[in-house]
Amino acid sequence: MKISVIQPDTVWENKTHNFQSLTRLISSLYNNTDIIILPEMFNTGFSMKPAELSESPDGETFGWMKDIAERGNFGVCGSYIVKEGSDFFNRWVFVSPDHGTWHYDKRHLFSMGGEDRLFAHGKSRLIFSFRGIRITPLICYDLRFPVWSRNNDEYDLVIYAANWPAVRQNVWTTLLKARAIENHCFVAGSNRTGTDGEGILYSGESMIINYRGGLMAFAETEKECSISAEISIAELHDFRKRFPVMNDADTFTIDL
């Protein structure tokens, strides 16, 4: 499977501009990849204005994703603000070219940015299969909590959609590699670049990592771009058989 990570310079709270920019970045990958991976809140930036920017589950952004997925013959995924009932969610959505959909609501809300006061916590993980690959998605701050991503031979690829600031970029790089190594899986991390409406700088450094923690693809710093890599499930399964670390792992349950 070929996966592609998009690293945009997201314009603050401007959906129209961001859809146009992302369409341009993605267009060269039509019929040339299996999955397009977008950052957290890819249509607005990490805004704490959910009442103004949220959409229904089948709103404008979902419609754009369906159109792109169908035109490009690939799955498209990333997070944006969704309202259901009276609650707002930082929701990661995956749309396949035949309009199959899956979603995950961010579990660990960034309290230091006020996200926990405005958004509802997600209550469950998501694991699903697409073109023979078992996938689990997580969003930004989730990366700091390894228990939530623990892999008991349930998935092959973990996707992190993020708006991860440049000031903590070393943490981003270190933890993405750690999640790949400890979970014996491929990791794809999509981060934005540029400066948001709060003056926060993002350097990007999106990446795709293999199950040994090795870099398969790495985006340039502070530059809009896309990166791609071929991931082999056969090679992953062979590695897990030859080095079955998870057989010695601790067992536990998570209280939600």
- Catalytically annotated residues: 40, 106, 140
In angstroms, what is the C-alpha Rg of the chain? 17
C-alpha distances (whole Å) from 151 to each of 180, 185, 199 are 10, 8, 36
* Close Cβ partners of 51 (under 8 Å, ≥ 6 residues apart): 88
CB hemisphere CA count around 63 (13 angstroms): 7
| Whole-angstrom distance, CA of residue 122 vs CA of residue 91 | 9
| Whole-angstrom distance, CA of residue 177 vs CA of residue 80 | 25
**DSSP β-ladder status, 207-209 and 186-190:** antiparallel
